[in-house]
Homo-oligomer: A and B are copies of this chain.
Amino acid sequence: MTASVSQKMMDELFHPKAIAVIGARSNESTENDGWVSRLMTFGYQGALYPINPKASEIMGLRAYPSVKDVPGPVDLAIFNVPFRIADQVMADCAAKGVKFAHIFSAGFSETGKPEGIRLQNEIQRIAKDAGIRVIGPNCMGLYHPKGGLTFNKRFSNQPGPVAFVSQSGASAVRMIAQGMERGIFFSKVISYGNAIDLDSTDFIEYLASDPETELITSYVEGIKDGRRYFDVIRACNKNKPIIVLKAGITEGGSRAAASHTASLAGSEIMWDTFFRQTGAIRVDDLEELLDMAVAFVNFRRPAGRRVGIVGRGGGLGVLATDLCEKAGLKVPPFHIETRKRLEQLIPESGTSATNPVEPDRDLAAWSAFYEEGLKAINDDPGIDFILTHLGVDIYGGIGTRLTESLDEAISILIKLSAQLSKPLVIVLYAGGRTETINAVLEAQKRCLEAGLPVYSSVPSAAKAISRLISYHEFLDRAAVNP
Contacts and interface: CB of A to CB of B under 8 A. Distances in A.
Given A253-B318, A313-B169, A323 B285 contact: yes
Nearest to A172: B315
A482 interface: no
Interface string A73-84: 000000000110
Given A325-B253, A432-B182, A318 B349 contact: no
Contacts of A459: 284-285
A249 B322 CA distance: 6
A430 B177 CA distance: 12
Interface of A: 82-83, 105-107, 110-111, 116, 138, 152-155, 166-171, 173-174, 176-178, 180-182, 219, 221, 245, 247-253, 255-257, 259-261, 284-287, 312-319, 321-326, 330-333, 348-350, 352, 354-356, 391, 393-397, 429-434, 437-438, 441-442, 444-445, 456-459
22 contacts: A83-B349, A105-B349, A154-B396, A168-B316, A169-B315, A171-B313, A173-B396, A174-B394, A181-B432, A181-B434, A245-B319, A247-B318, A252-B330, A252-B332, A253-B318, A256-B321, A256-B331, A256-B356, A260-B318, A285-B457, A285-B458, A430-B432
Contacts of A286: 319
Given A250-B325, A431-B181, A111 B349 contact: yes
Contacts of A355: 252, 256
B176 A285 contact: no
B170 A252 contact: no
Contacts of A317: 256, 260
